[in-house]
Amino acid sequence: MNLVFLGPPGAGKGTQAKRLSQERGFVHISTGDILRDAVSRGTPLGKKAKEYIDSGELVPDDLMIALIEEVLPEGRGVIFDGFPRTIPQADALDRLLEGKRQEIRWAILFDLDDEELIERLTGRRTCPSCGEVYHMTFKPPKKDEICDKCGSALIQRDDDREEVVKRRLEVYRRQTSPLIDYYDSKNKLIRLDAGRSIDEVYTDLLRFVDEEGH
C-alpha cells in the first residue's frame, strides 16, 4: 500500500512517517530530507535546489519528478512525505506508479491551523548527524539541545525561522492545497486531526493502516 502524507509544513508528517515506516515496514521517502542531504553534500541537485529551499519556495517540478523517479523502490509500500506538492507532481507520480501497476491508495491530510503550525516550526530542532527531529516544548531532548540518540548538537533549520515559515505557509496554500481536491475527487482523501498529541495521531493512523492491511 502506497500512502501520500499531505499537509502544511510543521503538521507532523515526518514524525509520523518515520514511526509508521519503522513499525510497519514502509519505505519512507521524504523529499525534504533528500534535498537537504544533497545540499549538504554539494551535489548538482543540491546546488540547484539550495536557493529555493532557503527562500521557502518550491524546487521546480522537473527536478522533483526526476528525483522521485530515481528513488522509487520496487515492490515495497511507500510513504511519500512532502511529495507531491503540486498538481503536475501528483500527475507524474500517478503515471509513474501506473507504469509499475501500482497506485496511491490514500492521501492522508494532516490538518492543523496556522498558529499551531508556526509554533511547531519555530520550536523544531533537528539532529544534523542522525536526522532525529525534536521540539523544544512538545518533544524536548533529555539534555539541552543535544540529540538523545547520538549526542550531536541540535540545530534549527534555516527555513524554520519565522520570516521563511510565513512564506512556506503561503506557498502551501497556493501551490499544494489544490491537491486536497485532487485526491478527494478520486475518493482517496483521508482527513486527520493533526492537532493532538504525537501518540494520539499515531494511534489513529495505525488503526487505519492495520484495518486496511498492506
Report helix angle 61-71 to 31-41, nearest 10. 100
Identify whether the C-beta of residue 30 lies closer than 8 Å to the C-beta of residue 17.
yes
Q: Which of 95, 149, 186, 207 binds Zn ion (CB under 5 A)?
A: 149
101 is catalytic: no
Q: Binding string, 108-147, against Zn ion, x = CB under 5 A?
A: -------------------x-xx-x--------------x
CA distance 122 to 119: 5
176 is in the binding site of which of Zn ion, ligand ADP, none (Cβ under 5 to 8 A by kind)? none
196 is catalytic: no
Q: Is residue 150 at the binding interface for Zn ion, with CB under 5 A as the rule?
A: yes
CB nearer ligand ADP, residue 187 or residue 204: 204
19 is catalytic: no
139 is in the binding site of which of Zn ion, ligand ADP, none (Cβ under 5 to 8 A by kind)? ligand ADP
CB nearer ligand ADP, residue 85 or residue 209: 85
13 is catalytic: yes
Q: Is residue 93 at the binding interface for Zn ion, with CB under 5 A as the rule?
A: no
- Min dist. Cβ of residue 151 to Zn ion (A): 7
CA distance 130 to 112: 27
CB nearer ligand ADP, residue 82 or residue 209: 82
Q: What is the DSSP letter of 29?
A: E
Catalytic residue among 13, 36, 120, 125: 13
CA distance 84 to 188: 14
- 35 CB burial (10 A radius; 0-12, 13-18, 19+): buried
Q: What is the DSSP letter of 206?
A: H
- Min dist. Cβ of residue 77 to Zn ion (A): 26
**Cβ-Cβ contacts under 8 Å for 80 (sequence gap 6 or more):** 2, 3, 4, 5, 29, 68, 93, 104
Residues lying near Zn ion in the complex (CB under 5 A) are found at 127, 129-130, 132, 147, 149-150, 152
Known catalytic residues?
13, 85, 124, 157, 168
